[in-house]
Structures are given as C-alpha cells and as structure tokens.
Amino acid sequence: MRLKFIFCMFLFFCFSSELNSNSNEWQEFKYNDIFKKTNGSNEFVEIKCCDSLNCMVFIQYNGTCGNRIMSTTDGGLNWKDVYFDTCKPTGNQNDYFPFPILSISYPSKDLFIATGDSGFVLRTTDMGKTWSHYNFDKYRGIYYLRMINENYGFGWGGVYQLKNEYYKTTDGGKKWTIMNSNEHFNGKYVDELQAINDSLFYALYWETEDKSMRLLRVHGNWETWDTTYLYNAYRIHYMSFINEKVGWIGGELPIGASTYKKWVKKTTDGGYTWTTQLDSNMYAGPLFDLKFFDENYGFAASGWWTMVRTVNGGKTWEAERLTTDTNELHNFYIFTSLQVPSATNAYCIGDGISIWKFTRDWSKVSVLEPPEQGTPIGSYPNPANNIIFLHNLEGTQALLYSVTGDKVMEIQLNGANAATLDVSGLSAGVYFVRCGSRTEKFVKY
C-alpha cells in the first residue's frame, strides 16, 4: 500500500508542478504558472503555517502594486489563490492602488490575518473562503505582526516619519490598541518581535546610543519592562523562543568579501544570559531566519543554497546544501521566511521564487531528551491496540501527535500525574505523547 501511495505521488508531481528533490528530505515546489498570471515582478515574501498541512504564502507583485495570498491544505502539494488584488499604475489617481501587505500571521485554522500600510488589516476566519478588511488608522502601519492564537497578538509599526509604536489586539485583529510604551523606544528600529503569551512579548532592537543590539522584554501594557545588552559586533536579526525562558537568537559576522560566520546563541533564563552554540563560516553564507519547534528541533535558513539544522537543541548543527549543481552554487541563492510547524516538517521560501518543504526522515527521529534530573513519561503496553496507560506526567494536559506532527488528541490532567488513553479509533502507526517538556513515543497496531 505504501509503495502504491509513493508511486501515485510521483505521478502527481510529474503532471502538476515542477518538483526538484535535491536531498532525501527537502522538496522544491516551483510554481511558474503562478507568476505567469501577472505582469511585472513577482516574489514570494512570507509563509506562515498553522500546522504541518495548512500554510499560506504572501506574494507581492509589480513592486508594491499588488497583494496575493495562496493557501495549501495538503502540505504543499497543491496551492490555490485565496486572495488577490491588483492596481493599474498608470498615474491616474482614480486607479485603485491597494495597501501593501507588510506582515502575515496564521495562528490557527480559525484565523489568518495580514497587516500593512495605512493601517490596513485583512482577515479570514474560514481559511480564505471569505475576507474582511479595514483601516484602523490611515497614518499608521503594522510592520511586524505576531499572533499567539486567534485572539491575542502584538504588532510593531508606527506613525510615518515620526515615531515607532507597539500595538496589541485581544479580539483577533478586529481592533488594535496603542500600547503605552516608553518614549525612549520611539526611534528604535526593531529587527524581530515575538509574542510569548497574552501579556508578554520580546523584541530585538537596535540601540542607537551605543550601536548595540538589545533584547526588550515587555509585560502587560508596559507596566514592567527591561532590556539586556546583547552585542555590537555580530549582526543579530532573528529570534525564536519556545517559552518564556528558552530561546535562541541568530545572525552573522562579516569576515571577508561575501563571506560570513553563522552565529547562534541560546538562553534558558529569558534572555539575561546566553551561550554560543554555533559560530562557524560553514558554506560562507549569512543567516536569514531562525525557527525552533521545541527544545531540540530547529532550523536556520542561510544563503548560498544552505540550510542548517539541529536535532539536539543547538548542541550540534548540520549544514546541507540543497543543490549539487556546481554552476548554481555560485549564485547567491537564499532561504527566508522559515516555518517549523511540527516535529516532522519545515517550510521556507527559496530566493523568492520557490517554496521548499522538509519532511523528516523518521529513521533518524528520537524522542525529546528529558530535562536533567527528570523522570521520563511511562507508557504501557507499547505497542498497544486499544488502551495505553501513562504515568509520570506533568503540567495541565497531555497532547497526542501523529508522525506528521498533527495533534490528534488532547487530555486535561486536572492535577493528575497519570492518565488512560483510548487509542482504538486511531490508525496504526507511530504516535507521540507530549506532556510539559517531555515526549514519549509509542506504536499503535
């Protein structure tokens, strides 16, 4: 059955889109027909995924004279237009000119949201079937949009040519409030913003006074905040926190003509102290994005056809070039807008012209390492057919995931450290139970 499925997928790719596979785990999807529908320049700008199957990508075309959003519900095999606008840049002021989209977010199937110039907010709650939009303030724009879920989110933007501001929504972007930020940050440029929870966000910003990068932590509506000095030698552009304490920052250091050191640091105390995990000029290219799914599994997007991956929380990194064509290797091909929606998949944009998908080789997958002095989750029987008993649990809930990283079951613990799972309705295969910071793998037969 599996061989039949693989053969069918091979035929599908032959007759639908151009597919290049340059490694066992990466696939490149080239959709040249997409760009033929519009005249002028076209570019994939940003991709967001709410899970391993459902993603949306924003395309900008004709410079800033059009927005296009495409959606996949099958892990990238098929894409369709779900939003499209254009303009006629003829100089006639009566011609429609859409507000350029600047940032997108896809926190769940119940909400996709985009923000842009002139206070433009675009929303869909049915995966692109219908859309609503409005302008919350024609003099303001939201350049970085970071949603936690379908209700809470933060943004950074500002009044044009005057000051920078921070924004918050509690209703999925229907309304935005201007946060009472300290005036010291009005002129500070933000390189990255991440929403940690509904009352906490972190920002990487450039401190002009001493020309250094800083990490800003803001609680509530700026009731409390503080900053940490990072560095002024390395360029730091990217940040990925998996909770309030554990996170990574990444960037590069120029060391010669078109040559850079890739650089990643990790924190376990909310950004107050950092340890270096990657400081290498492997394949020379700089970093262009950094994303982690959990304590172990993360990627760093790079230039010169290079993707960098870790499966042990950054202790070691593996660089892979996604082409073997020696002529292509001389091109400055970059990977950007990285997403890691599950323990098995990652997506990114390749040079603005392709979408790449990573599917993890399960022969190389191991469960998450338990925390130091921690007790691993216990599950029995394993393999199981109908009922599985769990013990040594922690936290408030246990989550069950398929091998594709999709959540298939959620169990509320209500203070208990043990639970019983009825897996009789699940298909045979490998599953993961995640509870707190630990994961257990079991087999359903």
Q: CB-based contacts of 115: which residues, under 8 Å, 6+ apart?
A: 101, 102, 103, 104, 121, 122, 141, 142, 143, 145, 155, 157, 173
- Distances in Å between the Cα of 133 and the Cα atoms of 65, 82, 93, 110, 130 are 18, 14, 22, 16, 11
The whole-angstrom separation of Cα 213 and Cα 2 is: 50
What percent of the chain has a predicted confidence (pLDDT) above 90?
Answer: 40
Amino acid 88: pLDDT: 62
Give Cα 52 distance to the centre of its chain: 11
Amino acid 185: pLDDT: 85
pLDDT mean over 305-327: 89
**Main-chain dihedrals φ then ψ at residue 151, nearest 5 degrees:** -115, -55
Tokens (6 digits) for 114: 């985009």
Amino acid 247: pLDDT: 97
Neighbours of 325 (CB within 10 A): 11
The whole-angstrom separation of Cα 61 and Cα 43 is: 6
Q: Any idea what DSSP says for residue 184?
A: G
DSSP, collapsed to helix, strand or coil, labels residue 253 as strand
Q: Does the pLDDT of residue 1 top 50, yes or no?
A: no
Residue 248: closest CA among 224, 276, 228:
276
Give Cα 363 distance to the centre of its chain: 25
pTM given for the model: 0.77
For the domain 12-364, what is the CATH superfamily, name and number? Answer: YVTN repeat-like/Quinoprotein amine dehydrogenase (2.130.10.10)
Residue owning tokens 């320049």: 41
Q: Which residues pair with 104 in a beta bridge?
A: 114
Amino acid 112: pLDDT: 98
The whole-angstrom separation of Cα 195 and Cα 436 is: 20
Amino acid 107: pLDDT: 95
DSSP, collapsed to helix, strand or coil, labels residue 61 as strand
Higher pLDDT, 7 or 254: 254
pLDDT mean over 254-273: 87
The whole-angstrom separation of Cα 356 and Cα 27 is: 6
Q: Does the pLDDT of residue 406 top 90, yes or no?
A: no
Interior angle at CA 361, CA 265 and CA 325, nearest 5: 80
Q: Considering the domain 378-444 in this protein, what is its CATH number?
A: 2.60.40
The whole-angstrom separation of Cα 13 and Cα 35 is: 19
pLDDT mean over 291-315: 92
Tokens (6 digits) for 376: 């691993």
DSSP, collapsed to helix, strand or coil, labels residue 237 as strand
Q: Does the pLDDT of residue 285 top 90, yes or no?
A: no
The whole-angstrom separation of Cα 444 and Cα 429 is: 5
User: What are the extents of the domains in the chain?
Assistant: 12-364, 378-444
Q: DSSP letters along 164-183, please?
A: EEEEEESSTTSS-EE----G
Amino acid 33: pLDDT: 58
Q: Is 266 exposed, middle or buried (0-12, 13-18, 19+ CB in 10 A)?
A: buried
Higher pLDDT, 97 or 443: 443
The whole-angstrom separation of Cα 242 and Cα 239 is: 10
Amino acid 93: pLDDT: 56
Q: CB-based contacts of 415: which residues, under 8 Å, 6+ apart?
A: none
Q: Furthest-apart CA pair in the chain: how many Å?
A: 72
Amino acid 235: pLDDT: 78
378-444: same fold as 12-364?
no
Amino acid 82: pLDDT: 94
Is the separation of the CB atoms in 34 and 59 below 8 Å? yes
Tokens (6 digits) for 148: 């936690």
Tokens (6 digits) for 386: 């109908």
The whole-angstrom separation of Cα 378 and Cα 69 is: 44
Q: Does the pLDDT of residue 17 top 50, yes or no?
A: no
Most confident region among 306-310, 340-344, 393-397 by mean pLDDT: 306-310
Higher pLDDT, 442 or 241: 241
Q: Which residues pair with 384 in a beta bridge?
A: 444
Higher pLDDT, 343 or 143: 143
What percent of the chain has a predicted confidence (pLDDT) above 70?
Answer: 83
The whole-angstrom separation of Cα 308 and Cα 338 is: 11
Most confident region among 238-242, 300-304, 322-326, 357-361 by mean pLDDT: 238-242
Q: Does the pLDDT of residue 249 top 80, yes or no?
A: yes
Write down the mean pLDDT value for the chain: 82
The whole-angstrom separation of Cα 144 and Cα 163 is: 15
pLDDT tens across 2-16, in order? Answer: 333 333 333 233 323
Give the residue ranges of DSSP H helices in 355-430.
Answer: none
Most confident region among 4-18, 86-100, 397-411 by mean pLDDT: 397-411
Count the helix, strand and coil residues of the chain and give each as a percent rounded to the nearest 5.
5, 50, 45
Amino acid 188: pLDDT: 86
**Main-chain dihedrals φ then ψ at residue 231, nearest 5 degrees:** -150, 160
Amino acid 14: pLDDT: 33
Least confident span in 1-10, 153-162, 196-205: 1-10
Residue owning tokens 């237009």: 81
Amino acid 62: pLDDT: 63
Give the residue ranges of DSSP H helices in 169-252.
Answer: none
DSSP, collapsed to helix, strand or coil, labels residue 443 as strand
At 179, is the pLDDT very low, low, confident or very high (cuts 50, 70, 90)?
A: very high
H/E stretch holding 5 reads helix 2-15
Q: CB-based contacts of 202: which residues, under 8 Å, 6+ apart?
A: 193, 194, 196, 215, 216, 217, 218, 239, 241, 247, 271
At 275, is the pLDDT very low, low, confident or very high (cuts 50, 70, 90)?
A: very high
pLDDT mean over 262-269: 94
Higher pLDDT, 111 or 40: 111
Q: Does the pLDDT of residue 227 top 90, yes or no?
A: yes
Is the separation of the CB atoms in 378 and 370 below 8 Å? no
Higher pLDDT, 344 or 368: 344
pLDDT mean over 302-307: 89
pLDDT mean over 181-197: 88
Least confident span in 27-41, 164-178, 266-280: 27-41
